[in-house]
Amino acid sequence: KAGVTQTPRYLIKTRGQQVTLSCSPISGHRSVSWYQQTPGQGLQFLFEYFSETQRNKGNFPGRFSGRQFSNSRSEMNVSTLELGDSALYLCASSLAENIQETQYFGPGTRLLVL
């Protein structure tokens, strides 16, 4: 079974631009979560989607948004990019059928904002 895939793997943008990152979960998985990883702040939770509904959100500004499609694929969007948005963005998926599910991570998208 294929793992979690994320596209693109690398991205360079300039300040003020916007960016969309994509995450395809493991087949059959219905929950997708997003995390931002930076050297200074470590791994921080962005948001989580289940059955096309956001069921939890981290403490990030409104410039960060996401959505989930009916096939469970998820996208996150960052508008008006700032230098501090440079990070590795990880998504994770799980079956979400019971509370004992494990999350599996994708390889990440590395975003550099110049």
Partner 1 sequence: AQTVTQSQPEMSVQEAETVTLSCTYDTSESDYYLFWYKQPPSRQMILVIRQEAYKQQNATENRFSVNFQKAAKSFSLKISDSQLGDAAMYFCAYRSAWGQGGSEKLVFGKGMKLTVNP
Contacts of 61 (CB under 8 A, 6+ apart): none
Bridge partners, residue 113, by sequence: 13
Site for partner 1 in 45-64 (CB under 8 A): 45, 48, 50, 55-56, 58
CA-CA distance, 21 to 76, in Å (whole number)? 5
Q: Which of 24, 33, 36, 72 binds partner 1 (CB under 8 A)?
A: 33
| 20 contributes a contact to partner 1 by CB under 8 A | no
Widest CA span of the chain, in angstroms? 42
- Candidates 19-27, 65-73, 78-86, 104-112; binding stretch for partner 1 (CB under 8 A): 104-112
CA-CA distance, 99 to 107, in Å (whole number)? 24
Nearer to partner 1, 18 or 56 (CB): 56
Question: What's the one-letter identity of residue 19?
Answer: V
Least distance (Å) between residue 105 CB and partner 1: 4
Point out which residues bind partner 1 (CB under 8 A).
31, 33, 35, 42-45, 48, 50, 55-56, 58, 88, 90, 92, 94, 96, 99-108, 110
